[in-house]
């Protein structure tokens, strides 16, 4: 299993976004987490296709696009066209989740499905064979800087057990409240893709990335 840090540009300094993305890439980061929020499915509004298209020109990183939008099926091809390598939709936002998954797969990118803290893992367990990744939100979606919700740890454990039982190749991503303490919690529970915003972007970016990756390597060695 590959463990990855997935910095969320929601916490970046948008006055220096291109520069910060280059710093991440030089520091060895391979995945960039891109939160798209519409002000409807979640209260906040972030950014959309023009920003992704712009940074795509300057980066070779894997663009992990997380759609926190209502009826995301409307936009899947548009986000692929502007540079997404993976698209994650919320189970709660789709009228027909199976159709949304099919549209993402047909568009030629990796498929992710996300669930909010209150949504049971069982709601998406029947779809595990059809996705590449499940994103468990460990805070309420829509705002950065929130504290990790401890009750989400058991959901990670449950999901990991389901994936292992079925011998599936599905990544577990977590998003929300990741820091020195919770990083160990979620990795040992079964998560391998860690989205982090302020944990990465507060202070010296390059120093933070090296420090976090070193800590992840240490935890991984304990898991193995």
Tens of pLDDT, residues 90-119: 999 999 999 999 999 999 999 999 999 999
Query: In the chain, what are the domains?
Result: 4-223 (3.20.20.70)
Rounded CA gap, 149 and 128, in Å? 24
Q: Is residue 144 over pLDDT 70?
A: no
Instruction: For residue 35, indicate whether it is catalytic.
Output: yes
Query: Which tens digit of pLDDT belongs to each residue from 31-86?
Result: 999 999 999 999 899 999 999 999 999 899 999 999 999 999 999 999 999 999 99
Q: Is 35 annotated as a binding residue?
A: yes
Q: Is 126 annotated as a binding residue?
A: no
Query: Which tens digit of pLDDT belongs to each residue from 158-215?
Result: 999 999 999 999 999 999 999 999 999 999 999 999 999 999 999 999 999 999 999 9
Instruction: For residue 169, indicate whether it is catalytic.
Output: no
Q: Check residue 141 and give its pLDDT.
A: 86
Q: Check residue 195 and give its pLDDT.
A: 97
Containing 192, the helix (H) or strand (E) segment is: none
Rounded CA gap, 88 and 104, in Å? 9
Q: Is residue 224 over pLDDT 90?
A: no
> Active site residue: 81, 130, 175, 217, which one?
175
Rounded CA gap, 137 and 117, in Å? 6
Q: What is the pTM of this model?
A: 0.96
Q: Is 112 annotated as a binding residue?
A: no
Q: Is 190 annotated as a binding residue?
A: no
> Active site residue: 35, 38, 64, 171, which one?
35
3-state secondary structure 10-55: HHCCHHHHHHHHHHHHHCCCCEEEEEEEECCCCCCECCCHHHHHHH
Q: Is residue 146 over pLDDT 90?
A: no
Q: Is 39 annotated as a binding residue?
A: no
Pairing of strands 86-90, 62-68: parallel
């Amino acid at each position: 299993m590959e463990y990855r840090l997935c910095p969320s540009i929601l916490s970046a300094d948008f006055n220096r976004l291109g520069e910060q993305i280059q710093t991440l890439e030089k520091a060895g980061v391979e995945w960039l987490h891109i939160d798209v929020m519409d002000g409807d499915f979640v209260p906040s509004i972030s950014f959309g296709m023009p920003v992704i298209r712009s940074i795509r020109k300057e980066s070779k990183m894997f663009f992990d696009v997380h759609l926190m939008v209502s009826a995301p099926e409307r936009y899947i091809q548009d986000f692929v066209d502007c540079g997404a390598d993976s698209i994650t939709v919320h189970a709660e936002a789709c009228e027909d989740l199976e159709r949304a998954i099919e549209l993402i797969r047909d568009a030629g990118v990796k498929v992710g499905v996300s669930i909010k803290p209150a949504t049971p893992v069982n709601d998406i367990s029947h779809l595990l064979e059809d996705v590449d990744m499940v994103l468990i939100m460990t805070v309420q979606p829509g705002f950065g800087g929130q504290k990790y919700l401890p009750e989400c740890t058991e959901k990670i454990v449950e999901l990991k057990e389901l994936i292992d039982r079925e011998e599936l190749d599905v990544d577990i991503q977590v998003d929300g409240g990741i820091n020195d303490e919770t990083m160990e919690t979620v990795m040992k529970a079964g998560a391998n893709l860690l989205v982090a915003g302020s944990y990465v972007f507060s202070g010296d970016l390059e120093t933070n990335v090296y420090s976090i990756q070193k800590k992840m390597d240490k935890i991984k060695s304990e898991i193995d």
